[in-house]
Amino acid sequence: MTAAGDTSGGTVLDLDRLLGMANQIGDFFAPYPAARRAEGIRNHLRTYWDPRMREALLTYIDNGGAGLQASVIEGARLLRDAAAPAKGYYGPPQA
């Protein structure tokens, strides 16, 4: 997906780079219990990632998400479920 007025097409970042970054985030949240892990990943993506990067990740997940950690897929999907946009947050993931 591209932002309005953007004529370049394709993902905003090279897809491999994006997936690598996503899995690194997954690595960090791995020791947390499942619900908090997913929430932590969601919050991180929401707070720090340009929306085009999040959208590219979600599109990739919609197409199967090969190579992504399960927790990253779960966390990213929460981006769509959340009713209200979360405010940014530092600290351990709260579920």
Q: Which of 3, 34, 35, 70 binds other proteins (CB under 8 A)?
A: 3
Interaction pattern, residues 73-92, with other proteins; x per rule: CB under 8 A: ------------xxxxxxxx
Looking at the Cβ atoms of 1 and 77, the one nearer to other proteins is 1
DSSP 83: S
- Nearest Cα to 41, choosing from 84, 72, 3? 72
Name the minimum Å distance from CB 32 to other proteins: 6
Give the interface segment with other proteins, choosing from 27-35, 60-68, 69-77 (CB under 8 A). Answer: 27-35
- Nearest Cα to 77, choosing from 48, 18, 50, 37? 37
- Nearest Cα to 46, choosing from 4, 91, 87? 87
